Chain A
Amino acid sequence: MSEAVTHAVLAKIRSLPSVPGTAANVLRLLRNPRMDALRIERAVRYDPGLTANILKLSNSAYFGYRGTIASIRQAVVRLGWNRMYQLIIATSIHGVMEEPVPGYELPRGELWRHSIGVAVAAEALVRELKLPPSEEAFTAALLHDVGKLVLGVFVAADFDAIQDLAAQGMSFEEAERRVLGIDHCEAGGRILQSWFFPPVLVSAARSHHEPDSVEPTSALLDIVHVADMICLMFGMGLGQEGLQYRPAEGALTRLRIESIHLERVGSRVVSEVDEVMNALNPNAVETETSEEKE
């Protein structure tokens, strides 16, 4: 039975739309080290939505240039290629990641909130642990759970069977593998592969719950793994499967994680995640206690 489900999951991945055209173009240009800001600007200019979003994000406090960046060219020069790459990926996957996710029962916007949260947590963790700066941490973290978008409907159909295994102490992603033949990590890796994302991002999505299983081990993967755990513990993107995930001992040892690191990073993420989300979508969240008229 799980073989049929696995085939259905893979077919669904193949039928996914690709990354929007402009974003794919610009990402290709950005990977060329000899590219100049003017050519990037030309490529982005044809997509007013992308331009507006990049400028909004560039000018958010999190990215460090509040209200001072007026053009894509300035953004490239002041933020650098790496930040531009992150901003373009964030803006181009925002729409699809906003969707509600069945199975995990994440309401609209919650997977996106989790993704941004883990991205912010990954960068905060790098600083907290005084690790060398990681160019890929933000993007790898942002994309790590993309597999949930595809796997969600299959998890919903077999939730009770998966949950029965998890209730016996199996981690949720392992229970997904047992019942569906594939977990959300592998599904995510395959999606990113089909979008032609670099192997380092594919691998981060594919192994984010099992960083100890990868040879050689990767600091980037360890960071994404711990950042994900932090956000789940503090309720960002916490689905109906709850906290049925297991921290990888090897990753904790390699990063020399102490509980104070987890708490400090958690406190930063909660303070910063809304700011980054608001920069992308002013209506997405309110930072104050929100009200709904009954």
Chain B
Amino acid sequence: MEGVKYIVGVADMKISNVPGDVIVTHALGSCLGITIHDPVAQVGGLLHVMMPYSSIDRAKAEANPWMFVDTGLSKFFLEAYAAGAVKGRLQVKVAGGANVQSNGDDRFAIGTRNHIVLRKMFLQNNILIAAEDVGGTAARTLCLEIGSGRVLLGSRGVEREF
């Protein structure tokens, strides 16, 4: 089926229920890319969040909730439910959360903090992660096919299903 390829930028998301659609995000560094997919309803989405907590700038979070894990994640799931997805059927995959090389200094460990806050929110809401590729120093690309639910992860020129 003919579909549209959506490119999700930093602090943005896309939900689709059109089987031919493909949703991609490029250059995940410390940011997290989260894909969700309901294979029965054929609804899926991709979220690209930057930072853990919206408390650093409430006005920014108001203008763009997708910037932060705490404001973006719940809204993302709610929009998928509104499009027909059912929580118990969702396949959730996570990639990104890389950090710069460190000398043990955690000020730059935004990737790790993003991941910790995400895991905490998933735990509180009984959401299981089907696959994740998180941490290290790699740049990653994430791609979700709405029809098949296939998720492709790219890094250093190599793409694999995950």
Interface residues of chain A, those whose CB is within 8 Å of chain B, are: 105, 110, 163, 169, 171, 229, 232-236, 238-247, 249, 252, 257-260, 262-264, 266-267, 270-271, 289-294
Contacts and interface: CB of A to CB of B under 8 A. Distances in A.
Interface of B: 2-14, 20, 22, 26-31, 50-51, 56-57, 60, 63-64, 67, 98-103, 105-111, 113, 136-139, 155-157
Contact of B50 (A249, A267, A290): A267
B29 A234 contact: yes
> 5 nearest interchain CB pairs?
A235-B27, A233-B30, A242-B139, A246-B101, A243-B137
Given A259-B110, A267-B57, A235 B31 contact: yes
B110 A233 contact: yes
A292 B23 CA distance: 10
Given A249-B103, A266-B51, A291 B4 contact: yes
Contact of A234 (B50, B102, B113): B50
Contacts, number: 132
Contacts of A233: 29-30, 99-100, 108, 110-111
Given A235-B31, A243-B98, A259-B108, A289 B139 contact: no
A291 B6 contact: yes
Given A232-B100, A245-B101, A294-B3, 13 more contacts: A233-B111, A234-B30, A239-B139, A243-B137, A243-B139, A244-B101, A247-B102, A263-B56, A267-B50, A289-B6, A289-B13, A289-B14, A293-B5
A235 B10 contact: yes
Contacts of A235: 10, 26-29, 31, 139
B152 to A, nearest CB: 15
B4 A264 contact: no
Contacts of B155: 242
Nearest to A233: B30
A290 B48 CA distance: 14
19 contacts: A232-B29, A234-B31, A235-B26, A236-B10, A238-B27, A240-B157, A242-B139, A243-B138, A246-B100, A246-B103, A249-B105, A262-B108, A266-B51, A267-B50, A267-B51, A289-B6, A289-B12, A289-B14, A294-B5
Contacts of B13: 289
A257 B64 CA distance: 25
